[in-house]
Amino acid sequence: MKYLEGVITAMVTPFDADGSVNLGKMASLTEFLIGKGVNCLYPLGTTGECMRLSEQERKDVAETVVKTASGRVTVYIHVGAVTEEETISLAKHAEAIGADGIGVVTPIYFGMNEREISEYFIRVANSVSKNFPVYLYGIPQCAANDISVKVASTVAEKCSNVVGIKYSFPDVLKMDEFLRIRNNTFRVVPGTDRLFLPELAMGCDGVISGISCVFPEPFVAVYKAYKTGDIEKTRYYQRFATDYCNVLRNGANMSYFKKGLALRGVDVGVMKKPQLDLTDAEFNQYKLEVESLNKKAGELFV
């Protein structure tokens, strides 16, 4: 069983101007990230504009990433969808194509109580094999529903294949509580890029980072330095990682991600409407910021 560890890159989804998914560009992005040394790939999450894709498009993207990665890195597919039926269909598909595991966000938009959320996750986890790992995914600022420690504990107790949680709200005290589930064996991978170092220090396994889809280098450097025990160097690289987070607006607009990759020579297309690409003025200002930061962080790109 492979777990989410280290630099876990949340991948963007490339779209053509007509709104269709470009699988060739998805494969190229996969190769780019593997070449930069990330540890795991996590397509079709929030960074991947998952709720704007059809079920078939999501399956096509999942197959492309798994096939292209070909076992070189761990690949988890995010499968949370608007309906439970689609979520379970995507979960079964991820297992069938050879993904290493899945992430499942809470049901979105409509408010749900703890019993409803718990039973939802249990049904999804039971739809795949007992040895196929599942991570719960909490991002209350987008999904409307949060995951309490009680819910996570209940689901983990009833489903042995629920091995951890991706938690994308910057509450380190709650993350510490998650880490104590199942006799301190429950795995936690936050989605707060700016807290990579402190999250590692408190016992988290890594970070699921959208920023690392554009600039993986500082995050890879943070993790490598941390694993060697060089805290001063880890802090040094974390400052650059944080600077890149801020330049990319901390994921508030995924167009910054796609334009940032274009600046690196990696074409990942356009945003899926109704979201729009940056204006020329926004892009020109952004380009100046990126160039300035790249100059300061030059050693990371050698």
> Tens of pLDDT along the chain (302 residues)?
999 999 999 999 999 999 999 999 999 999 999 999 999 999 999 999 999 999 999 999 999 999 999 999 999 999 999 999 999 999 999 999 999 999 999 999 999 999 999 999 999 999 999 999 999 999 999 999 999 999 999 999 999 999 999 999 999 999 999 999 999 999 999 999 999 999 999 999 999 999 999 999 999 999 999 999 999 999 999 999 999 999 999 999 999 999 999 999 999 999 999 999 999 999 999 999 999 999 999 989 86
295 within a domain of the structure (yes/no) = yes
Distance CA 249, CA 238 (A): 16
Which one, of 19, 59, 20, lies nearest residue 43 by Cα? 59
206 within a domain of the structure (yes/no) = yes
| pLDDT at position 301 | 85
User: Which is the catalytic residue, given 42, 137, 256, 286?
Assistant: 137
Distances from the Cα of 191 to the Cαs of 84, 103, 223, 272, 293, in angstroms? 23, 12, 15, 22, 23
Active site residue 120: no
User: Which is the catalytic residue, given 9, 13, 30, 46?
Assistant: 46
At position 55, the amino acid (one-letter code) is E
161 within a domain of the structure (yes/no) = yes
Active site residue 76: no
Whichever domain contains 140, its CATH number is 3.20.20.70
Residue 79, both tokens: 């499968």
1 within a domain of the structure (yes/no) = no
User: Which is the catalytic residue, given 166, 174, 258, 259?
Assistant: 166
The residue behind tokens 């064996």 is 185
217 within a domain of the structure (yes/no) = yes
User: Which is the catalytic residue, given 83, 109, 150, 273?
Assistant: 109
Active site residue 166: yes
| pLDDT at position 302 | 67
| pLDDT at position 195 | 94
- Alpha helices for the chain (secondary structure H): 23-35, 55-69, 84-96, 114-126, 140-143, 149-158, 172-179, 181-184, 196-201, 216-228, 231-247, 255-263, 280-296
Whether the Cβ atoms of residue 185 and residue 160 lie closer than 8 Å to each other:
no
39 within a domain of the structure (yes/no) = yes
Distance CA 134, CA 51 (A): 19
3-state DSSP assignment of residue 43: coil
Domain of residue 206 covers 6-301
Strand-strand pairing, 206-209 and 162-167: unpaired
Active site residue 47: no
Whole-model pTM: value is 0.97
Which one, of 59, 56, 97, 51, lies nearest residue 275 by Cα? 51
296 within a domain of the structure (yes/no) = yes
Name the domain count of the chain: 1
